[in-house]
Amino acid sequence: MELKVQQNVALSQFTTYRTGGPARFFSGARSWQEILGLREFAKLKGLPYLIIGGGSNVLFADEGYPGLVILNQMDKLQINGKNVTANSAVNLSKLVLLCAKHNLGGISGLALVPGSVGGAVYGNAGVPDVYISDVFMHAEILPEKSNKPLIVGPDYCKFAYRTSHFKKTKDIILSATFKLKPTPGAIIKTEINSYIKERTLKQPVGLTCGSFFKNPGQFPSAGWLIEQSGCKGMKVGGAQISEKHANWIMNTGKATTSDILSLAKQVYDRVDEKYSINLEPEVQIITDNPFLKT
């Protein structure tokens, strides 16, 4: 198998924030064997590696990434009765819409969550009334310390609000199988439309990663805390706190990762000062993390 590894590839084109410098090495991967080969390549060179899907929840440094970035391109999908197995690069919206065509529901709330199935399982993506873990049966992974794919269930994944065991490992999620609820397609369509309406009302449009910080608990939400701390509209360089939703930091066009992080740190400090609450970023920060307490 011949690996097509490129050098100095701009990561901004693969992230929804449109920020991030070049990856020292970069390659797409269409099979688990390619991922394995690429992982070996990085290990032999003693370099860090990272897999990305839709790039809708990552912030890469402006200086770039010093190792290998693997762009997941495994995107097959199979429906078997009520069960659906999706390769990890399958787009989440595509999964929801295809299931709807087959009268399989229970995940309408995920229709507008950008990114891949792999990214969704990694971060237990969801909206207040449905998380990917609600329908998750098992995943096939390439474990951090083994060259053989392995099937793992919910016990292994330890899903919780916006997190899973995968955040503590370097396991690579290859595919996931979900158990859906037989539901007439017309009902699913109505549900999706009402999510679209709600989102259009509440969420801004533009270059972003969605909510920057996790909600610290049921209430108050991160957005409420940030708004009450007077942060709406605040700017650093090309980064701005949305006027529509205070937990959304937007790239207004020319923001760098460093603009976004320094704005986020100001927000974090204000909320800490006013409410003594330390917000935790939801976005995966693949550079020096200003929020880690030393």
* Catalytic machinery residues: 162, 211, 282
Closer of 88 and 240 to ligand FAD (Cβ) = 88
Number of neighbouring beta carbons within 10 Å of residue 78: 11
- Using CA atoms, how far apart are residues 224 and 227, in angstroms rounded to an integer? 5
Q: Are the C-beta atoms of 32 and 73 separated by less than 8 Å?
A: no
Pattern 107-146, binding to ligand FAD, x per CB under 6 A?
Answer: ------xxxx-xxx-xx-xxx-------------------
Looking only at residues 5 through 34 of this chain, which bind ligand FAD when binding is defined by CB under 6 A?
16
Judging by beta carbons within 10 Å of its beta carbon (0-12, 13-18, 19+), is residue 255 exposed, middle or buried? buried
Taken in order 38, 283, 123, 207, is the CA torsion positive or negative? negative
With CB atoms as reference, the residue minimizing the distance to ligand FAD is 119
Looking only at residues 275 through 294 of this chain, which bind ligand FAD when binding is defined by CB under 6 A?
284
Q: Are the C-beta atoms of 244 and 199 separated by less than 8 Å?
A: no
Question: Distances in Å between the alpha carbon of 291 and those of 29, 240, 280, 285?
Answer: 32, 18, 7, 10
Q: Let me know how long the chain is.
A: 294
Q: Which range binds ligand FAD by CB under 6 A, 47-55, 94-102, 237-245, 254-262?
A: 47-55
Looking only at residues 222 through 281 of this chain, which bind ligand FAD when binding is defined by CB under 6 A?
none
| Rounded least distance, CB 82 to ligand FAD, Å | 23
Looking only at residues 190 through 209 of this chain, which bind ligand FAD when binding is defined by CB under 6 A?
208-209
Applying CB under 6 A, which of residues 32, 166, 178, 195 lies at the interface with ligand FAD? 166
- The edge-to-edge listing of strands for the beta sheet with 6-10 is 6-10, 22-29, 65-72, 49-52
Instruction: Name the token pair of 76.
Output: 């097959």
Applying CB under 6 A, which of residues 12, 19, 72, 215 lies at the interface with ligand FAD? 72
Closer of 98 and 269 to ligand FAD (Cβ) = 98
| Rounded least distance, CB 270 to ligand FAD, Å | 23
Which contiguous run of DSSP H or E holds residue 117? Answer: helix 117-123
Which contiguous run of DSSP H or E holds residue 249? Answer: strand 249-251
| Rounded least distance, CB 274 to ligand FAD, Å | 26
How big is the site for ligand FAD, counted in residues (CB under 6 A)? 31
Pattern 73-112, binding to ligand FAD, x per CB under 6 A?
Answer: ---------------x------------------------
> Which stretches of the chain bind ligand FAD, using CB under 6 A?
16, 50-58, 72, 88, 113-116, 118-120, 122-123, 125-127, 166, 172-173, 208-210, 284
